[in-house]
Amino acid sequence: MAPGSLTVLAPLRPGSEAGLRERLRAIGDDINGKHVTAAGRPDVTFVRSRRIHFARFAILSDPDRGPERARLLFASIYDGSLNAHLDELVSITSDMDAIWGGCEGYPGIDGFPGFVRAHAHQPTAYYIAFRDESVDSITSAIAARRRRHARQDETGLAVERSHAPVAPRRNLLVRLLRAAPVVSDVIRTIVQAGLGNVYYGTRRITASLDRYVVFRLFNWITRNRIPPRSSSFSSLPVDQCAPFVALAAGDEIPTQSNATRPGFREDAVAQNQLTVVTVVDPASIDRVRAVLAAIDSYARRLAPPGSLIGISTIHFARWVLIDRGRRLMFVSDYDGSWESYIDEFAEMILSGLDAIWETSFGMPPDGARDLPAFKRFLRSHQVPADVFFAAYPDETVLNVANDRAQS
């Protein structure tokens, strides 16, 4: 079973934000449980989990309820059923009421599963680097690799591994069976979003993907090209130290003005986290749905293990339409620095970035082609994580891929 995703957005009661943020940041500061927990301080001991790949807590604005209102985000990637995940989450949390009690309508620990389901959002597009790997299989492979390296250090000789012969026909059959539902995905998306939006969204995504024969042929037939930039100058503001403000009419900044910098909790371990929330032009919601449906279908049906259109630094990524489609949330767990991650996206799937966010208010006029302005757009719409947990914090996607090859 592929890992599941949980994205919970729960409105906070007025006045509860500051205290909750303080409690969450204390947990985030000691995410690996290396320090003695202060008496009475609530804790979520993520290191005890055997199911959670990644998890984060964050607080973001709740503009639909009022200019000073906020809501709690909990996002996780987990193995097994949602019920088992929620049971484990309760078991590793010392004081559920201290974490969730500030949420409107929170019924207490007994009603926690129902509360979560009522405030959970399903991803519109969801990418998993390794669909057949669990926390246990990944950490077991890491341990096996470390034992091999330890033996090699002791003996001074490389430890040989014997591999079973690869069965190419079986692998091809598995890939064909996995890809078969693509046709039904396309038909369903046409019914939901309309043929015009599916066609336009496909053209926008594939414009920079000529390195793939099938996309190059499609682009040639449809005369599809990346639009030229309207200006050779970037629209990036000169003052990069100024506070983030709305970039256009209808745009919003997803965190309060006094919130921590967007890059909070970055570069602490080998992986990083990114949460971005933008406001979608309501006239273009079907186009967004078509684009995300195409990404979701490719990610589930066609993407090879560990690579999304050639990007090999993403562990998990999901796009979630929230607030009845008014806003788009992007939640990602990735390797390396924020700068290199966005650079790689822009290099490998430039037109895809435009296709996803061109209907969001505040997107630069030249989109991701104006990379400095696009980075400013993402930073200004980024939600800092007060808590970020990674089950295998020193491992990259390439590490996991190499371990799979050795197993």
Q: 153 in a domain, yes or no?
A: no
Do 260 and 312 belong together in one domain? yes
Question: Does residue 315 share a domain with residue 181?
Answer: yes
Cβ–Cβ < 8 Å for 224, 218: yes
Which tens digit of pLDDT belongs to each residue from 64-80?
A: 999 889 999 999 999 99
Domain of residue 361, residue span: 173-385
CA distance 89 to 396: 25
Whole-angstrom Cα distance, residue 147 to residue 224? 52
Together in a domain, 38 and 115: yes
Instruction: Tokens for 3, please give them.
Output: 């890992």
Give the DSSP H/E element, type plus range, for residue 342. helix 338-357
Residue 228 domain-assigned (yes or no): yes
Residues 245 and 354 in one domain: yes
Task: Give me the CATH number covering residue 50.
Answer: 3.30.70
Question: Taking Cα atoms as reference points, which of 301, 305, 292, 303 lies closest to residue 181?
Answer: 301
Pair 196, 327 in one domain: yes
Average pLDDT over residues 22-49: 83
User: How many angstroms separate the CA atoms of 303 and 83, rounded?
Assistant: 29
Whose CA is closest to 4, among 98, 84, 105, 59? 84
- Are 165 and 157 within 8 A, CB to CB? no
Residues 342 and 402 in one domain: no
Do 43 and 179 belong to one domain?
A: no
Task: Report percent pLDDT > 90 for the chain.
Answer: 72
Residue 236 has pLDDT above 90, yes or no: no
User: Of all helices (H) and strands (E), which one includes residue 322?
Assistant: strand 314-322
Residue 162: what pLDDT?
Answer: 47
Whether 37 is in a domain gets the answer yes
Query: At 75, which amino acid appears?
Result: A
Residues in CB range of 170: below 8 A, 6 or more apart: none
Residue 30 is predicted with a pLDDT of 86
Return d(Cα 37, Cα 240) in angstroms, integer: 39
Segment 79-97 shows an average pLDDT of 96
pLDDT in tens, 209-226: 999 998 999 999 999 999
Which pLDDT band, with edges at 50, 70 and 90, does 388 fall under? Answer: very high
**Residue 166: pLDDT over 50:** no
- Write the CATH number for 199: 3.30.70.100
Number of domains in the chain: 2
- Rounded CA separation 325/321 (Å): 5
